[in-house]
Amino acid sequence: MFAEFSKKHLSLIRLLVQGSFTIFCLWIGLQFYRFFLWATAGSNYGARPPAVEAFLPVGALVSLKKFVLTGEFDQLHPAGLTIFIAALVIATIFRKGFCGWICPVGFIFNLQEKLVSRFRTPRHPPKWLDYPLSSIKYLLLFFFLYLIVWKMNLSAIERFMHSPYNLKVDAKMLLFFLNPSFTALGIIASIFLASIFMRNFWCRYLCPYGGLLGLLATLSPFQIRRDPDLCISCKKCETACTQSLLVAQKHVILNPECVGCLECVAACPITECLYVSLAKRKKIALFWLPLAVILTFFLFYLSARMSGHWQTVIPDEFFKQIYNR
């Protein structure tokens, strides 16, 4: 019964989950703004929310390399590293569920898609355009991996982590959003404009974080499968697919762009024609995959809090000094 309910209302449930994470992120942004004003303008004190570090994935990749090399967990931006590892683990086990169910940026583009799809039929970009555009995010990803994973040695990592840039990168990010340059506004507007014509333009073609999660997701034992004997080729799954994947033409969706949103499964009118499978055979109920994604995310958060890997060791007074430099 709950399985039926989750299939029927999957889109709404997903919007509510993503919306909740987005509202939480906005609240974190406001809390951090209060802290920033205290540090730079002497207004009332508000504690710095550690979760603001979720928006620093490049620094988290540097911290992860240090953790792998030395076993030392980043104490300067521990929440950022915790969230980054959680996203990587979720992708490896539960597909790109971080993108499909948690990321607020993905949610914003989902909302835009829901609005514009009322006025146009979603179209699959032609392959001659899709392939070169898709390569952009992988080029960006390999650029970062080359610079950080390949080139940076331990002393370069230490220098980066203790640099003024890294220590106040959260404030720099806040200022970027508070006072965006004309160029930044133009780029953001262009991405929204491009998303009108091509679904999820940012996530599908430009986001290197999503590219990394997608590559890891190819290792996941969870898969979307189609039973060709039951399929009536109505293509409702393809219309529903948030990533414009050709679901009705595959037996199994192995594409790294699949975000595990399950909109295709919910849209399929034939019972058990399109389903989630575990380890190639076992069919599982629809709600298990998103539930596992969300629970794993909170498990990482709780473990980090309880083990002292969430709160930075940097004193507030030091942030005050470095923000004002």
Q: How far apart are CA 274 and CA 252, in angstroms?
A: 9
Total of residues contacting ligand SF4 (CB under 6 A): 37
Q: Is 304 among the residues that bind ligand SF4 (CB under 6 A)? A: no
With respect to ligand SF4, which residue has the nearer C-beta, 148 or 207? Answer: 207
Tokens of 13: 């449930």
Q: Is 232 among the residues that bind ligand SF4 (CB under 6 A)? A: yes
With respect to ligand SF4, which residue has the nearer C-beta, 38 or 55? Answer: 55
263: number of Cβ within 10 Å: 20
Binder to ligand SF4 among 51, 64, 148, 207 (CB under 6 A)?
Answer: 207
Q: How far apart are CA 194 and CA 200, in angstroms?
A: 9
Residue pair 53/170 in contact by the 8 Å Cβ criterion: yes
Q: Of 214, 169, 205, 161, give the one whose Cα is nearest residue 56.
A: 169
**Chain residue at closest Cβ approach to ligand SF4:** 210
**Which position has the token pair 């595990």?**
260
Q: Can you say whether the dihedral through the CA atoms of 195, 172, 175, 21 is positive or negative? A: positive
Binder to ligand SF4 among 273, 286, 293, 304 (CB under 6 A)?
Answer: 273
Q: Is 61 among the residues that bind ligand SF4 (CB under 6 A)? A: no
Q: Of 122, 126, 197, 152, give the one whose Cα is nearest residue 62.
A: 152
Binder to ligand SF4 among 80, 210, 256, 290 (CB under 6 A)?
Answer: 210
CB of 215 to ligand SF4, least distance (A): 12
Q: Is 225 among the residues that bind ligand SF4 (CB under 6 A)? A: no
Single-letter residue type at 60: A
With respect to ligand SF4, which residue has the nearer C-beta, 170 or 257? Answer: 257
Tokens of 30: 């406001």
Binder to ligand SF4 among 258, 286, 293, 304 (CB under 6 A)?
Answer: 258
Q: Of 80, 94, 81, give the one whose Cα is nearest residue 32.
A: 80
88, with CB counted inside 10 A (0-12, 13-18, 19+), is middle
Q: Is 248 among the residues that bind ligand SF4 (CB under 6 A)? A: yes
Binder to ligand SF4 among 235, 285, 294, 320 (CB under 6 A)?
Answer: 235
DSSP codes, 267-288: H--STTTEEEEETTTEEE-TTH
Per-residue contact string for residues 185-204; x = within reach of ligand SF4 by CB under 6 A: ------------------x-
- Please list every residue from 79 through 118 that binds ligand SF4, using CB under 6 A: 99, 103, 105-106
Q: How far apart are CA 22 and CA 18, in angstroms?
A: 6
Region label for 285, one of left (φ > 0), alpha (ψ between -120 and 50) or beta (otherwise)? beta
With respect to ligand SF4, which residue has the nearer C-beta, 167 or 267? Answer: 267
Q: Is 252 among the residues that bind ligand SF4 (CB under 6 A)? A: no
Q: How far apart are CA 87 and CA 74, in angstroms?
A: 17
CB of 286 to ligand SF4, least distance (A): 10
Q: Is 250 among the residues that bind ligand SF4 (CB under 6 A)? A: no
With respect to ligand SF4, which residue has the nearer C-beta, 156 or 270? Answer: 270
Residues near ligand SF4 (CB under 6 A): 99, 103, 105-106, 203, 207, 209-210, 224, 226, 231-237, 240-243, 245, 247-248, 253, 258-264, 267-268, 270, 273-274
